[in-house]
Structure 1
Amino acid sequence: MALTGIMEMFLKTRAEQAKSIPSKVFFNHFFSIIYCLNCNSEKFELKKIPYYNDIKIKNSSFNIDEVRKLLWNSWSTEYAYRIGEKIDNDEYYKFSLHWNFPQAYYSVYLSMTAFHETQGLANEQHEKSIKLFGNSIKDNHYPSAISFYSSGLKNEFEYQGLPTFKEFPKDSSVLRKIECLEDAEIQLATFLKTTRKRNAEDKRNRLAKQNDKRFRNGKGEFRKSFSKNHWDIIYKTIPITSIFNLLYRLRIKANYRDIESFINADIDFKSFHSSLGELIYYLNFVHEAYIAKAIGIVKYEKILNSFPSHLNKETAIKRFEENIKVLG
């Protein structure tokens, strides 16, 4: 093969590898979430959370049928996600990402909304619901296993809920293998950082379409370059960045062509599917437990038993029998 042909092949291979890097990074971040979750010995001990012990119905017009519908939708979506575990086919795991991403997000979003219904907070605006979750995280309403977040202005981000994280090491890599809790928390801090920056950029783009007067130049045009002060105006309107922002970011990725970079990446798709499934399982456990606490075990179990058991015996029923019923 001529030298030119070898060089072209090398450049093509390198380009393909570069395309898959963002996907490898994204998958590494989600592995770190599960690593931290599994390292947390108190993740099911909700009675240690003062907020949990005081949960009751706060919705003055509470309708239990709304909670039932939301939970049924959540369980149906989780079941659809977990079908892949029974198929056990590598190609399936790869090409199912198109619908797995939104399935993961909507299952946990629906169970959270069901809990918000008991508190009179339910609404149809995703950003508002995610903000409510973030505020609850900040107020210590949730288990420490999922209570990590970032906040702050441009170049001044602060990170909470990551006990071992102090700063980003100079030699840290988003592709680095996770071998300990410290590695995982660095990955999580990176994930929070990039997601918070992405949220600010998305808001800037929305403001550009509106030609917001706060960001116009002398010609009355939306300015192309932003100073820190301009960015800080935006960051002051952005709530804390939490695990729900990370999941929402995953859901958004399913809507664009960059899903192709995931499919073409050299990644263990089965492991990623399992990791994301673990996260769905845990977040749904938390909100289901909160709902059971609010409406009472008897009423919650009635909702659970009225759903086809063959669809949730490995999820909601298992969570109830093993982790929720013992809470009393």
Structure 2
Amino acid sequence: MENVERNSVIKNYQSGKLTMMDASSIPAQVFFNHFEAIYRNIDKANEMSQITSLPFWKKFKPFINDNRVNYIKSMMLNAWNTEYALRSVVKTPESQVMNSSLHWTFPQAYFSVFYSIRALMGTQGIYTADEGALAKRMATWVEHGVYPASLGYYSSGNYNEFKIHRLPKATVIPSVDYLRDEEDVASHVAQFLKTTRTLKAKKLREQIQGNEDTALKNKKTGDPILKFSKQDWEKITSQIPVTTVFDLLGRLKYSENNREIERYLNANIAFDAFHDSLIGIVYYLNLVHETYLVKALGMETYQKLLNEMPVYLREGFAFERFNQLIKPQLLTKAVYNKKQLAA
């Protein structure tokens, strides 16, 4: 990944924070902190070794044919093009350009990961573009340990009783302003999981109750229930898969669709740091997917796939991830395994 001076960005942001906070900026500031927390929670130094040490990694041996290879190539071209466009915003440092770009950078962060998930699903012969199916598949992946711990957390359970998994340091009330420490970081991620699961539950309730055929009804009157009990909510939340980092990224897309983007445009927050967080999250999620893809396709086929990409991608972050992170780790792993077998 390009060397972004994260500490200096956060330091400048913190030093300016005391003079810029106002009531209208608080929702946007909390939203920013959530994504900054996701990024800071990623164990960047050990990400690669964590991936290749996972039990799921060792069992991952999908069948690959020409149809699957062609599909994967198409999906990765979309994923990398979207990531390329997202990253290009940072090269334009003018604050006004960066602020107005949120209209398309928000959904682009989501869709880059969306396409790389589709590519990984292609190794299983699954070619769907249905977002609900993708979210369910990623929820299953997260639960089964496809992702390293720093990206493999999730929320489950019934409304107002949500449980957080794999975030042991989420023990404090998250701050409104800048992130203070590891506990604050984990707590922000946990809060984001809970609020996102709450929104998903409420949305599903509206859909179910808005349909005469599916609505939960009062046994005496036959009218749709207005006040939900714990048991009523269980009928709703039991239909929702666990809430993952993919659902958190989905908030970017839906914020744009619901015109909530205006709250961020009018807020006084550090948009450059916000963009850096989004780029970092996308970088490492795509890194995980690409590592599995290299194992599925083999290094030679994956290298060929990269070589067939447009020049601006062949010389950028996709090659960097493969040559500097994925390839050395897998070669080291292969050598190590051979030595173990020889012993």
TM-score of the two chains, using structure 1 as the length reference: 0.89
* Offset of residue 163 of structure 1: 2.4
In the other structure, the counterpart of 2:16 is none
Match of 1:155 among 157, 160, 177: 160
In the other structure, the counterpart of 1:320 is 322
Match of 1:226 among 221, 225, 228: 228
Deviations 1:62-100 (A, max 9, x none): 431111110001111111111112111111111111111
Deviations 1:145-201 (A, max 9, x none): 200101011232211111222x4x4xx245142121111001111000000010000
In the other structure, the counterpart of 1:199 is 200
Aligned residue runs from structure 1 range 79-228, under 5 A: 79-165=84-170, 167=171, 169=172, 172-217=173-218, 218-228=220-230
* In 1, Cα distance between equivalents of 2:66 and 2:213: 39
* In 2, Cα distance between equivalents of 1:285 and 1:137: 15
When residues 320 and 174 of structure 1 are mapped into structure 2, their CA distance, relative to the original with a 3 A threshold, is same
* In 2, Cα distance between equivalents of 1:231 and 1:182: 30
* In 2, Cα distance between equivalents of 1:61 and 1:226: 51
Deviations 1:16-58 (A, max 9, x none): 9444322111111001011111x45421212211222332224
When residues 215 and 17 of structure 1 are mapped into structure 2, their CA distance, relative to the original with a 3 A threshold, is farther
CA contact (8 A) 1:62 1:117 kept: no
Aligned residue runs from structure 1 range 15-34, under 5 A: 17-34=22-39
Deviations 1:262-301 (A, max 9, x none): 1001110011001100111111111111111001010011
In the other structure, the counterpart of 2:240 is 238
* In 2, Cα distance between equivalents of 1:237 and 1:71: 31
SS in 1 for 2:210: helix
| Residue 51, structure 1, aligned to residue 56, structure 2 | yes
* In 2, Cα distance between equivalents of 1:67 and 1:149: 27
In the other structure, the counterpart of 1:294 is 296
In the other structure, the counterpart of 1:280 is 282
In the other structure, the counterpart of 1:251 is 253
When residues 186 and 310 of structure 1 are mapped into structure 2, their CA distance, relative to the original with a 3 A threshold, is same
* In 2, Cα distance between equivalents of 1:84 and 1:214: 45
* In 1, Cα distance between equivalents of 2:313 and 2:67: 27
Gaps of 5+ in 1: 1-15
CA contact (8 A) 1:62 1:118 kept: no
In the other structure, the counterpart of 2:8 is none
When residues 224 and 136 of structure 1 are mapped into structure 2, their CA distance, relative to the original with a 3 A threshold, is same
* In 1, Cα distance between equivalents of 2:265 and 2:202: 26
SS in 1 for 2:197: helix
Query: Aligned Cα RMSD in Å?
Result: 1.9
In the other structure, the counterpart of 1:264 is 266
Number of residue equivalences: 308
TM-score of the two chains, using structure 2 as the length reference: 0.85
Gaps of 5+ in 2: 1-20, 332-343
Percent identical pairs in the alignment equals 36
In the other structure, the counterpart of 2:46 is 42
CA contact (8 A) 2:30 2:177 kept: no
SS in 1 for 2:257: coil
SS in 2 for 1:42: helix
SS in 2 for 1:48: coil
* In 2, Cα distance between equivalents of 1:35 and 1:154: 28
